[in-house]
Structure 1
Amino acid sequence: MSENGSETYPGFDGAPLVLHRMGEGRPVILLHGLFSSAHVNWVKFGTAAQLAAAGIECLMPDLRAHGASAAPHDPAAYPPDVLVRDLEALVAHLGLTDYDLVGFSLGSRTSVRAVIAGLSPRRLVLAGMGLEGLAGWLRRQAFFSEVLDKFGTIRPGERGYPAQQFLKTMGTDPQAARLLLGTMDDTDPAALAAITMPTLVLCGDQDNDNGSADRLAEVLPNARRATIPGTHMSCVTEPAMGVELVSFLTT
């Protein structure tokens, strides 16, 4: 199954952001991971097609500074929690009142902070995320900042080389990505009490990149844990990803 199509919508500041759609039915917003894209996370390996076949309309934005969306170099385009503000703009643009929200890695982090800020999806999926990836984000941010600061000069075998090569493969704009990283902050675990909707914490069995998914599920008021095969990078390629999402979102 191919995408229904792509369209542009205005971010919080009017920046042109791109939304990809697939399927018809109940609307579900899917937010991709850091330095990835909607296509790589959701379309390329068939996850969106699985959801669409189950009667779900997949709404898949390319986040600011990712994919086909705008990657401005003006620091004013990157206020704190800019991705949350862009998500709020998307929900308002589409007029959504009854929808589900799925995030992977950075998408999960954005989803958490958006719900804390007031968005209220019926159901929430936090994939590729652990408690430390929220509460201790600044440590992970420092790693990516180092990669971007040294972009193009990191040699094979050196710290950050695989991340640099992934950025090159994705065509990431290093200047825009560096500005985006500066918009993110740690999340106080106590604030997670605001996430009261049914939540699925979904993580690969070899994925510890963002800390403990078990601990995240334990501190959320209404969460259950699911495990699929894979590392942080490989779990999005697994058919089990779509199987778990369909099961959770259609029951």
Structure 2
Amino acid sequence: MTTDFFDSFDGTRLALHRHGRGRPFVLLHGLFSSAQMNWIKWGHHEAIAAQGFEVLMLDFRVHGDSAAPHDPDSYPSNVLVRDVAALVDHLGLDDYDLGGFSLGARTSLHGAAHGVLTPAHLVIGGMGTAGLGEWQRRAAKFRRVIDEFDAIPKGDPDYFSMQFLKSQGVDRVAARLLLGTMPDLDLALLDNITMPTLVVCGDEDRDNGSAADLAERLPDADFAEVPGTHMSSVTKPDLGQAIADWLGAQA
């Protein structure tokens, strides 16, 4: 595996971790996580690469090895979609697949629904309809975690999220700015996502609403369940294998 850096549309320095050889598969991590935490640590990148893919794992701005600017001008609406589009342009990709988990899934769906990103195949992990159409409600939880942080006591529903944020060393000033860039998605726009899609979710994961309902709303989607909650499903090999198997079957 190699790690490269490139400048996004506004000059923000972003990290890209690459593994394997073959068809390009851009893979996006979840909120306050990283490519290392979501994909590399648990071996998902290896399972996918074994199906004949080059796995291109971006660290979003404010995450992992990427920059976390404090300038508000670095956070226009849907900035993460623009970062992924900048990556596709940087690599000169015209035929590629795209996937993500949680925030990475939201970003992929926003990009595809608005025609900014045009992958041949799409993989959506840990996401349901509520995480798209009612995102601002969930974002309020994360704003509270950032704003109150060390004041959140053990036993509080948001305590685990605070501990995770702390463990990842996320810059809270930049994270607060980033949260303001993520609009709700009009679910009617899901009709625009016509490429074959896998919706995969933990069997105990209800953090973003119903993934099965999301799969039903998409024009051409398969649905798969893997073991775990929103946080634990990414730690199990089943997630990476489900993605690898589905992508391999599309070839």
Q: Secondary structure at the match of 2:68?
A: coil
Structure 2 residue aligned with 1:34, among 21, 31, 38?
Answer: 31
Higher mean C-alpha deviation, range 144-153 or range 227-236:
144-153
Amino acid in structure 2 at the alignment position of 1:45: W
**Residue 95 (structure 2) aligns with:** 98
The 2-side partners of 1:221 and 1:51 are apart by 25
Conserved 8 A contact 1:24-1:52 = yes
| Partner residue of 1:21 out of 18, 30, 33 | 18
Moved more, 104-113 or 8-17: 8-17
Q: Which residue of structure 1 lines up, in the alignment, with residue 60 of structure 2?
A: 63
Aligned amino acid, residue 181 of structure 1: L
Give the TM-score normalised by structure 1.
0.97
Instruction: Write the letter of the residue equivalent to 1:74.
Output: D
Matches for 1:140-151 after TM superposition, within 5 Å: 140-151=138-149
Does residue 229 (structure 1) correspond to residue 227 (structure 2)? The answer is yes
Q: Which amino acid aligns with 2:149?
A: F
2:104 counterpart letter in structure 1: G
Aligned-residue CA RMSD (Å): 0.8
Corresponding residue of 1:129: 127
Contact 2:114–2:189 (CA<8 Å) still a contact in 1?
no
Deviation at 1:116, TM superposition (A): 1.8
CA–CA distance in 2 between the matches of 1:90 and 1:210? Answer: 26
2:80 alignment counterpart: 83
Unaligned runs of 5+ in 1: none
Amino acid at match of 1:240: D
Q: In structure 1, what is the equivalent of residue 198 of structure 2?
A: 200
Give the secondary-structure state (helix, strand or coil) at the position aligned to 2:149: coil
**In terms of mean alpha carbon deviation, does 150-159 or 84-93 score higher?**
150-159
Unaligned runs of 5+ residues in structure 2 are none
Map of 2:211 onto structure 1: 213
Residues 172-191 of structure 1 mapped to structure 2, 5 A cutoff: 172-191=170-189
Q: Secondary structure at the match of 2:105?
A: helix
Q: Displaced runs of 4+ in structure 1, greater than 4 A?
A: none
Distance 1:95 1:65 in 2: 24
Aligned length: 248
Deviations 1:140-170 (A, max 9, x none): 0011011111122212112311111000100
1:153 aligned to 151, 155, 164, which one?
Answer: 151
Q: Provide Cα deviations, 1:111-159, integer angstroms capped at 9, x if missing partner.
A: 0011122211010011000011101101000110111111222121123
* Residue identity matched to 1:247: D
Contact 1:151/1:174, CA 8 A, preserved across alignment:
no
Deviations 1:94-119 (A, max 9, x none): 00011100110000000001112221
SS of the equivalent of 1:242 reads helix
Percent identity over the alignment is: 57
SS in 1 for 2:118: coil
Is the contact between residue 202 and residue 226 of structure 1 (CA under 8 Å) also seen in structure 2?
yes
